[in-house]
Amino acid sequence: INILDTGGNEIGAVALGQFSDLTNAPNMEILYLVNPYRSFSRAAEDIRQLMEGIQSVGHMEQVTIFCNPNLGAETSEQEILVGYTRLEELLLPLGLRPQGLVIPNWVDKSVFSGLKVPVWCITPCIEYP
């Protein structure tokens, strides 16, 4: 498994677009992580526009939406559950739903077993240039 974080906007997707022959291969899956706590994820239309813009400039045929309800070091189980539910509601008018959940390693993964989606527990790292 290789994970490339291209920054979450069209600028990063342009760089990824040059590898579209690889990213659109049958053995690849592009995850589109949505943090419902970010200002550009507060409305369904905002999510749709940004996602479609990234897909277009990145030449991505398909993306899989994962929920990443993240408030940094302050993220708790309750905030994750509220964020996941919020994203489900936001995506409903678009005919979409989260296909997975990303959580930080300090929360208990078992809390989310009732969501019926894959839960990926990660160790958040931020590297600045």
Per-residue model confidence as pLDDT tens digits over 14-69: 888 888 898 889 988 888 999 999 998 989 999 999 999 999 988 988 899 999 99
20 CB neighbour count, 10 Å cutoff? 13
At 114-123, the pLDDT tens digits run 999 999 998 8
pTM of the model: 0.87
Report the C-alpha dihedral over residues 15, 21, 27, 32, rounded to 10 degrees.
Answer: 30
